[in-house]
């Protein structure tokens, strides 16, 4: 009976963690470039149930079973747990904003890679300078200029150029006078050949296995190993493009996520009812034992 209590309790714990992941996904359904987490539930290893046989003095059980051995009876699962959250890096929908500093990464043309015998889809990211000086990676391309002319994310992190330095727009150049091509080159006054200037180039990376990235919060990812920019020596762009005047929406399907949350709640309630049933049975057993005692 206690095994059933533990199994139901493990179901409640795992569904609670799944609900947390779904809630976080839904809360970021309108966050540009957000990538949802898919919680993975796995069962604990099954236990082999065995019949207990009395020890036979002559060394056998009469059925060919040696004394002291317990013939198998059946298997039972002992519960479930949420093993991990796996980020889903599928391409989000593009929305046109016409903002001069709104950028969206298109990486659907990057070919799959075989890593450890499994096909993995690489993903492209913008490179930004985090508060501790390390490099972070984001898909949120809704950029702006701070008071010093630095190109920054909505959270204030400075966007890095291909020279690994923050991009700064000087000489009071208006945002509307900037043009950014598909390779991330920033041109000022592109329509006036006499005044055209190259400001720099957006720093971008292609992560071969994005599942190795670590969430840092604020829609940023980090890596334990340095990731080369696509313009670094020896690196190539396998097919990633930038689109000015667009932002990439979150890849969260709000309708499906709400449906998954309802199913999760129903599962949680079912496990709760199982525990209540076990609790009532234990109370009855206790009452019977107390009367007979």
Q: What is the pLDDT of residue 221?
A: 96
Per-residue model confidence (pLDDT) at position 46: 62
Clarify whether residues 101 and 221 are in a common domain. Answer: yes
Whole-number Å distance between alpha carbons of 293 and 290 = 5
- Residues 205-253 have pLDDT tens digits of 999 999 999 999 899 999 999 999 999 988 888 889 999 999 999 999 9
Q: What is the DSSP letter of 89?
A: -
Q: Are residues 126 and 186 in the same domain?
A: yes
Please tell me whether residues 260 and 200 are part of one structural domain. Answer: no
- 75: confidence class by pLDDT, cuts 50, 70, 90: low
The span from the CA of 29 to the CA of 20, in Å, is 14
Number of domains in the chain: 2
Q: Are residues 10 and 128 in the same domain?
A: no
Q: Which pLDDT score is estimated for 11? A: 85
Greater pLDDT, 107 or 84: 107
Q: Which of 34-43, 76-85, 171-180 has the lowest mean pLDDT?
A: 76-85
| Structural domain includes residue 71 | no
Cβ atoms of 129 and 135 within 8 Å: the answer is: yes
The answer for 251, left when phi > 0, alpha when psi is -120 to 50, beta otherwise, is alpha
Residue 124 pairs in a beta bridge with 206
Q: Is 267 helix (H, G, I), strand (E, B) or coil?
A: helix
Please name the helix (run of DSSP H) or strand (run of DSSP E) that holds residue 173, with its range, or none.
none
Residues 209 and 102 in one domain: yes
Confidence label for 7 from pLDDT (cuts 50, 70 and 90): confident
Per-residue pLDDT at 62 = 52
Q: What angle do CA 215, 219, 225 make, to 5 degrees?
A: 40
**Residue 169 located in a structural domain:** yes
Domain of 42, in residue numbers: 2-51+77-85+254-292
Is residue 63 a part of any domain in this protein? no
Residue 56 has pLDDT above 90, yes or no: no
Note the pTM of the prediction, 2 decimals.
0.80
Same domain membership, residue 180 and residue 148: yes
pLDDT of residue 58: 47
Do 158 and 238 share a domain, yes or no? yes
Residues 6+ apart with CB under 8 A from 20: none
Q: For residue 24, is it within any domain?
A: yes
What's the CA gap between 137 and 245, in Å, rounded? 20
Task: Give the full edge-to-edge strand order of the sheet including 178-180.
Answer: 178-180, 185-188, 197-201
Half-sphere exposure of 30 (CA within 13 A, CB side): 1
Among candidate residues 212, 230, 248, the one where a domain is terminated: 248
Please determine, for residue 63, whether its predicted confidence score (pLDDT) is greater than 70: no
pLDDT surpasses 70 at 195: yes
100 and 228 together in one domain: yes
- Give the model's pLDDT for residue 41: 80
| Percent residues over pLDDT 70 in the chain | 85
Please indicate, yes or no, whether residues 144 and 98 belong to a single structural domain of this protein: yes
Q: Which residues pair with 242 in a beta bridge?
A: 105
- The answer to whether residues 262 and 287 belong to one domain is yes
pLDDT of residue 179: 95
Is 61 a member of any domain? Answer: no
Q: Say yes or no: 146 and 214 in one domain.
A: yes
Query: According to the model, what pLDDT value does residue 284 have?
Result: 80
Same structural domain for residues 121 and 29? Answer: no
- Can you say whether the dihedral through the CA atoms of 141, 143, 149, 155 is positive or negative? negative
Query: 164 to each of 56, 170, 203, 205, how far by Cα in Å?
Result: 78, 18, 7, 11
Give residue-wise pLDDT tens across range 139-168.
999 999 998 999 999 999 999 999 999 999
The answer to whether position 202 is within a domain reads yes
> Is the pLDDT assigned to residue 74 strictly greater than 70?
no
């Amino acid at each position: 009976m206690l095994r059933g209590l533990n199994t139901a309790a493990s179901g409640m714990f795992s569904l609670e963690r799944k609900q947390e992941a779904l809630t976080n996904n839904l809360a970021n359904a309108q966050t540009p470039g957000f990538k949802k987490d898919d919680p993975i539930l796995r069962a604990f290893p099954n236990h082999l149930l065995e019949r207990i046989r009395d020890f036979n003095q002559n060394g056998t059980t009469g059925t060919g079973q040696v004394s002291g051995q317990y013939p198998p009876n059946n298997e039972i699962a002992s519960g479930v747990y949420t093993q991990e959250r796996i980020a889903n890096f599928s391409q989000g929908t593009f929305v046109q904003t016409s903002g001069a500093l709104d950028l969206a990464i298109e990486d659907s043309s990057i070919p799959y890679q075989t890593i450890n015998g499994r096909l993995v889809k690489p993903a492209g990211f913008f490179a930004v300078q985090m508060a501790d000086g390390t490099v972070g990676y984001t898909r949120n391309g809704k950029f702006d200029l701070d008071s010093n002319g630095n190109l920054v994310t909505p959270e204030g992190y400075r966007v890095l150029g291909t020279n690994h330095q923050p991009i700064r727009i000087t000489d009071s150049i208006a945002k509307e006078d900037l043009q950014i091509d598909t390779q991330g080159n920033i041109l000022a006054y592109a329509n006036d050949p006499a005044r055209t200037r190259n400001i720099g180039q957006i720093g971008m990376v292609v992560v071969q296995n994005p599942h190795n990235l670590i969430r840092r919060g604020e829609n940023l990812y980090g890596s334990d190993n340095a990731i080369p920019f696509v313009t670094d020596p020896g690196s190539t762009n396998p097919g990633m493009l930038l689109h000015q005047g667009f932002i990439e929406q979150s890849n969260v399907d709000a309708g499906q996520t709400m449906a998954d949350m309802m199913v999760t709640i129903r599962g949680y309630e079912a496990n709760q009812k199982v525990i209540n049933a076990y609790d009532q049975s234990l109370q009855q057993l206790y009452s019977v034992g107390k009367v007979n005692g």
